[in-house]
Amino acid sequence: MNSSYPVLLTAARTGGEVVPARAQMATTLGFHIILACLGIALPSFVLLAEFIGLRRKNGTVLRLARRWSQAMGVLIAVGAVTGTVLSFEMGLLWPGLMRRYGAVLGLPFGVEGLFFFLEAIFAGIYLWGWQRLRGWAHWWSGVPIAVSGILGAMSVVAVNSWMNQPGGFTEQGGRITSVNPWRVFFNRAALYEMPHMILAAYMVTGFLVAGVYAAGILRGRRDPYHYAGFALGFVPAALLTPFQILVGDTAARAIAHDQPVKFASMEYVPSTSRHSGWVSCCWPPDCGRPGSGGGAAGCRPSGCSGRPARSAAWRQSRPWSAAGWSRRSAGSPGWSTGCRPPLRRPPPTGASSPA
């Protein structure tokens, strides 16, 4: 049995309260993850701007760095609030998990707390030092902010990856008797989850920053300030994108191998099958009931826009479309927008399939 099953069963022993607990934590995480991405990566973009400004004696880029640092301070403060809420939710919403495995999960959470305190302390020094520290001394005071943000993110991701690939502890009689900190922190899933999160944070922050100044450029503000702001955000994010594609593919393959049921739910494959095809658009499950116009498993065969399905000959002539992709991978007539035909279990030997 997969080693993650006992952990999942322990977390789920809350009866009918699982769905509300998940909904509440997902809502909090939905806000926090955006702030977390900015908190992880924005300090590096601030330091990059100040580095270029100091190296080239460019006052425009230094002005960008100072303005971004003010936003960084606000985001660190707001992110601390949502992060505190999440820490309480771990104990209040998942008491069974924390009661049994708190001795294991407490380590990476404690390390993350130390790095957050370092990040907050040096963020105060950095903001305070704009008028009190000169040149490179001020730049070096900001380096611990970026380093602490990255290491703190790795600590939190270590908890998530451990829940996917538990290890590094000894359990006897339902109690944790010993913990191997190294194996808990750097478990098998951490090898792809940590770089995936860090790269995602830098891409989100870079493209978000670039988008702000791109909007200004499109509105006619074609000056060095906006061009520099766009380039400082866009170039690093664009350079990291190919690496993120490789890391994401590695993560997907690892999940498909280690947790096939989870991977099937991510890909919306409701029944065990082979070569089930690619689903590009699905409707809620109740749309698949008879008379609702939906297809099997909530897929609507006529497509997301409600247009009638195209003929097989028309789909055959468009191999690049989502429908053609689904037809080739599933080995069956293609449905528009990539929705699969109904998945039926093979009938017993000697029995005839339903008409």
What is each CA distance from 22 to 6, 178, 277, in whole angstroms?
18, 30, 29
Nearest Cα to Cα of residue 45 among 196, 153, 149: 149
SS3 of residue 321 by DSSP: coil
What is each CA distance from 283 to 77, 241, 279, 296, 337, in whole angstroms?
39, 30, 11, 10, 12
The strand pairing partners of 178, in sequence order, are 170
CA distance 5 to 26: 21
**What residues does each domain of the chain span?**
5-266, 285-338
DSSP type of residue 78: H
What is each CA distance from 101 to 84, 92, 113, 169, 179, in whole angstroms?
20, 14, 18, 9, 10
Q: Alpha helices, DSSP H only, in 168-223? A: 181-185, 190-218
Asked if 167 contacts 258 with a C-beta cutoff of 8 angstroms, the reply is: no
SS3 of residue 352 by DSSP: coil
| Domain 5-266, second-level architecture | Up-down Bundle (1.20)
Nearest Cα to Cα of residue 127 among 73, 46, 64: 73
DSSP type of residue 343: -
Angle between helices 18-56 and 95-128 in degrees, nearest 10: 20
pLDDT, residue 17, reads: 74
The strand pairing partners of 175, in sequence order, are 172
Radius of gyration of the chain from its Cα atoms, rounded to whole angstroms:
25
CA distance 115 to 135: 25
- pTM, two decimals, is 0.75
DSSP type of residue 286: G
CA distance 293 to 289: 8
DSSP type of residue 335: -
DSSP type of residue 292: T
User: pLDDT of the chain along its 355 residues, tens only?
Assistant: 455 555 555 555 545 678 888 888 889 988 899 999 999 999 999 999 999 999 999 999 999 999 999 999 999 888 888 888 888 888 889 888 888 898 899 889 999 999 999 999 999 999 999 989 988 999 999 999 999 999 999 999 999 999 999 989 988 888 888 999 999 999 999 999 999 999 999 999 999 999 999 999 999 999 999 999 999 999 999 999 999 999 999 999 999 888 888 888 888 777 777 777 776 666 555 444 443 333 344 444 333 433 334 444 444 444 333 333 333 333 333 333 334 444 444 444 444 334 3
Q: 137 Cβ partners below 8 Å, 6+ apart?
A: 129
Q: 186 Cβ partners below 8 Å, 6+ apart?
A: 158
Phi, psi of 220 (to 5 degrees): 100, 0
